[in-house]
Each structure stands twice: as structure tokens, then as C-alpha cells.
Amino acid sequence: MSIIPWNGAIIVPVYLSTLSDDEHSSVRQLTKVLGQRKIIVVCPEGLKPPKEVSQWEVARFTPEYFKGIDGYNNLMLSPGFYKRFEQYQDILIHQLDCLVFRDDLAQWSAKGFSYVAPPWLGKFWKDPKLGLWRVGNGGFSLRRVSSALQVLGMRVPRGTMKSAGERASRSYVAPENSSNHYRSTQALLSDNGHGFVTLEEDLREYPLNEDLFWSFEAPLLDPSFRIPSARQALPFAFEKAPRWCYRQNWWRLPMGCHAWAKEDRAFWIRYIS
């Protein structure tokens, strides 16, 4: 059966030279469903990737990017990372705690979004009481390379991301502020008296979780940066409350999921056994 052409690559971050049993499951499922697509292992310089992924191309980056969450956030917010894959229109980030069930990559790319990821529930809860909120966790995410480079290449007032980080704990968790209407792009980019720097420089000085950046900040900084609503993203992937999301998605699996073993292993295991 022929596959629909897709100008993209699947990026698999790998940190260690061995895989856990759950990571084995992730790799097997990825190979089964998307094995005909371009798959690239991203790992630190000097690491010998696990034999289970040795058939795939390898792209290496400095080891500092693989030291904990902060390093990974820096990698996903680095223009150098996206320039490495500039030949592709889109990249799918597929961490080793993800599962993929269907190849809808061409269809999702055709929608023209800059960033698609599993929806968050209100207040980042696991409990779906507050319903769907925002897109979403970057562990399983489709990203338009040109859109990411355009945002990261912007010049902004020094300290722009400092303000964003200060708001993160008190504002992002309020569903009524989900579209950030309380803060205008015009005010965001006005001169604050401290001069302008590249967004990359500001993020280096004032780090922010990369998925928060792409979901909240990027669309404000660049109005052409398009993300779907949480409802639109539901068929793309689940993360929190997968049983509830499954019902909301009309009892249909999404294209993939993130943190399957952590969030509801018993639900997901039936689909890969």
C-alpha cells in the first residue's frame, strides 16, 4: 500500500545507549506504523545509539542539550536545531514515551498549523473536570520548521521572556486567560528601555519550558504562528485522561499519544499487545 507523500521527518530524541522495556514498545510501534517515513535519531555527540534504532539516520548535538529538562528545553528553542532540519517542511517530535497508531502526517501537515500537540486539560490537571484547554505537550508534536525559525529569529525587548516566566505559574493555569487576551502583542514588543535582543538570547537568559513557549508565547509574538484549538488537536494525540479523551474523540484512537505508560498504562497496553 502506497503512503501519501509528506515533506517531513520524524525526530526521536535518544539520551542513553540502552532502552527500557517501555521504550522498546515505543520503537516497535513507531517502526510498525511509520517505518516507511524518514526517521532521525537526535542524540548527544559521543553516544552510541541503542541497536534497536541503529537503522535510522543520526543527528548529533552538543551533550549540554541532553542534560535534564533544562537542556532539552534549550534544544527545542534553539534555532540551530530547526536549521538542522530546514530541508523539511515539518518535523514530528516523537519521544520514547510515545506511541503512534496511524499515519496521518500528510493530512495534518496539509492543515498548515505551526505547532500541533496533545491538548492540555484545564489548569494542567489530569482530571478532565475543567475540560480541554490548550495545545499542548511537546513530547509528541508536529512542528513547522519555517514557522519555528521565523519566531526564534525575531528581535524582542530584553526581558520579554522574563515577564513570560513570571506569569507562567499564576496566569497559564487560569482557564479564563487561556487565550492571553489580558496581554497584547503590541505591548509585548514595545521598547522597555533595556534595548532589543534576539529571542534566542532572551530565552537563554530567561528560560521557559519549550511547550509553554510554543503554545502561549509564539502566537503572540508572531500572529502568523498558527496552533489549533484543543478540540481540533484531539484526533492528533492524547496525553492526560486518555479514556475521557477517547470518548470525546468519538471512541476513536488519535494518531498518537504521549506518556502512555505514566498516564494510563492499562488503557494503552491493549492497543500494542
72-83 pLDDT, tens digit per residue, is 999 999 999 999
Q: Is the pLDDT assigned to residue 262 strictly greater than 50? A: yes
pLDDT at 163: 72
Q: Where are the domains of the chain?
A: 1-273
pLDDT at 189: 60
pLDDT at 172: 56
List, for residues 172-215, the tens digit of each pLDDT value: 544 444 444 334 444 566 666 668 898 989 998 888 899 999 99
Q: Determine whether domain 1-273 maps to CATH 3.90.550.
A: yes
Return mean pLDDT, the chain. Answer: 90
Of 63-67, 102-106, 153-157, the one with minimum mean pLDDT is 153-157
pLDDT at 231: 96
pLDDT at 175: 44
Confidence of residue 124 (pLDDT cuts 50, 70, 90): confident
pLDDT at 126: 87
| Phi–psi pair at 93, nearest 5 degrees | -80, 120
Flag whether the pTM goes above 0.95.
Answer: no
Cα gap 66→95, rounded to integer Å:
13
Burial of residue 200 (CB within 10 Å: 0-12, 13-18, 19+) is middle
